[in-house]
Amino acid sequence: MKKLSLYITLALVSLVLGACSDEYEPWGNPQAYPEEGAIAIPGIKANAVATQDLANAGEQVSLFTLSTAELPEGYTLQNARIKLYPKDINTAMSTTINTTLDGKANTAEVQAMVEKYYGKRSEACNFVALVYINAVKNGQAALIEAGEVAVTIIPKAPAFTEYLYMAGDANSWSHSDILHGPAFDGKYLGYMYLTQSGFKFCTQPNWDGTNYGKDFSTDGGAANIMMTEANGFYKVEVDLQALSYKLTPITSIGIIGDAAGGWDKDIVMTYDAASHTWIAKSVTLKDGEIKFRANGAWDISWGGTDLKKLTSNNGANIKVNAGTYTIKLKPSYDGNTQAELTKE
C-alpha cells in the first residue's frame, strides 16, 4: 500500500511541476493531462476482451476489462478512456473514446469510429489501444496508463448493401451488370444495356439476397420490371429509399482529345452486344491525351490514370502514345469502367 501511494504521489508531484498548477481540470482536457505524463501502477491493468459484434450490442459495448489494485485512502479511479489506433493503417491518427471503469463505451460512438477508418463494410476491424485512467484525491488527478490491449470490432451492417446487380433478358439473367452505392445510402449508379423484356435489381450476384421486381416489390413471385423506353444502353440510377430508378439513354460514345484530332470532335464507337463493349477500330492517335464521352457532350465522360479503373466522376485525361489502335470501352460503375487500347 505504501508503494502504491508513493507511485501516485510521485505522479501528482510530476503533474504539479509540469502544469505549474495544482488545480484539477476535467479529464477531457488533453493539455492538462497529456498521455506522456502517464505512469504505470502495479495491479492496475487493462485486459483484452473477445471480438465485439456491434450488431449484437446494446447501448454500450465492452472494449476492455480492468484489473485494479487497492488504492490508498482517499483515492478513487475516475475518467477512463481508450485511445485506439487502426492496426492496418500505419499513418492514421488515433481516436480517443471515453469509457466506464469496466471498459464499456457508447456503441454508436464506436460504430462511427470504425466507419471513419474502415468504412461501412461489416467485417472484423482490428485496433491497437492504450487505456488511461485517473487516480483522484482532493481535486488532484494522476494519469495512469493501464496498458495496451488488442481490440477487434465488427461494425453493424448498414441498411443497404454496397452493390446492386441487374439480372435481366439483356444479360441472360446472369447478374453480371453491377451498380455501386459507395455511401451505403441505397443510391446506386451503373451503366448497362437494357431491353423491354424485363429485369430485376438484386442485392447479391445471385437470387439469394433481396430481389426487387415490378414496383420494387421484394415478393418472391414479383413480376419483372418492364421499362417502356427503347432497348438500348443506359446510365442507370437506382434509389432504394425512394423505390425508384432513372434511365439516361446513351446513344453514342466517342473518343475525344488532342491525341484524337482535337477536343471538339468525337471518334464514334460502335456498341457490340455480344461483349457489352463499345469498340472503335483503326483509330490513329498522336502522342497526347484522350477521354471517352457519351452523346457528344460532357454530361457523361470517362477518364483516369488507370485504364482498368476509369471513372465518370471528373476523371483525369488519359495519356496515350502515337499509333493505330483498336480501342474498347466497357462502361460500368465508377472506378470499374475499363478501356483497352490494342495496337494494330
Mean pLDDT over residues 265-286, rounded?
Answer: 96
Which H or E run contains 85? strand 76-86
Which one-letter DSSP state was computed for residue 278? E
Q: Would you place residue 20 in the very low, low, confident or very high pLDDT band (cuts 50, 70, 90)?
A: very low
d(CA 212, CA 244): 11
pLDDT in tens, 43-56: 999 999 999 999 99
Asked if domains 2-154 and 163-249 share a fold, the reply is yes
Return the higher-pLDDT residue of 113 and 142: 113
- Count CA atoms within 13 Å of residue 129 on its CB side: 32
State the average pLDDT for the chain: 90
Instruction: Identify which of 231, 176, 227, 184 has the alpha carbon closest to the alpha carbon of residue 202.
Output: 176
Q: Taking the model in full, what pTM does it have?
A: 0.73
CB neighbours (10 Å) of residue 255? 27
What is the Cα–Cα distance from 225 to 238, expressed in whole angstroms? 13
Q: Which CATH architecture has domain 163-249?
A: Sandwich (2.60)
Q: How many residues does the chain have?
A: 344
pLDDT band at 2 (very low <50, low <70, confident <90, very high): very low
Model confidence at 138, in pLDDT bands (50, 70, 90)?
confident
Residues 157/164, Cβ–Cβ less than 8 Å: no
CATH architecture of the domain formed by 2-154 = Sandwich (2.60)
The pLDDT, as a whole number, for residue 244 is 97
Q: Is the pLDDT of residue 33 over 80?
A: no
d(CA 312, CA 331): 9
Domain ranges in the chain? 2-154, 163-249, 253-343
Task: Determine what percent of the chain falls in helix, strand and coil, rounding each to the nearest 5.
Answer: 15, 45, 45
Task: Give the mean model confidence (pLDDT) for residues 231-256.
Answer: 98
Local confidence band at 36 (pLDDT 50, 70, 90 cut-offs):
low
Residue with C-alpha cell 450476384?
A: 205
